[in-house]
Structure 1
């Protein structure tokens, strides 16, 4: 009977751990959608909703597993968050057009750091990096 409870506890704990892990690919796609909505927003309320979602999703991404240069990936995400917060502040203080430059910076950061987010290939997993 003790072994039954032990097995159940192990199964439950592994399910909890599995639920806590972040699927970076899915999260990044949702982040991209939120970014696109922020860029295309025509009203401040739309923009704020989208940029808040974007920031939230980027913060969730920081909890994911990065295979290549995790320190640089996390630094890149911090830079993206800073630019998103700057865009939000600018939009709220000066209007939506003031958010264009920080939003462009986000896209440039995405291009720069995107390659670091890709999972390892088959041979990297098999032989190490």
Structure 2
């Protein structure tokens, strides 16, 4: 699967295996003439396409360096707000889930600036 960004739209080619994932992107549509899916250009769509293995090309067909697009791993911080009660080093998704649940349930004691749900 490859993609080209033109005039604010991402043109995605060779998408048969990924067509159902592309249909979940808001604002998608099929261009019958180009035989490509078109989706709006934004960081979320670029990150999603990178996750499912899309290669971004420029207009001349040369693969674009990935440094020009956002870093997927840097979106959500992976440092625990409070120390986690485990001995092993947690994976990024475990830290993110711990922070999320701790904030929602108001378990952290560091103040309202970090955890506005606590509020007391």
Q: TM-score, normalised by structure 2?
A: 0.27
Which structure has more RCO (C-alpha within 8 Å, separation ≥ 6)? 1
When you count helix as a share of all residues, which structure comes out higher?
1
When you count strand as a share of all residues, which structure comes out higher?
2
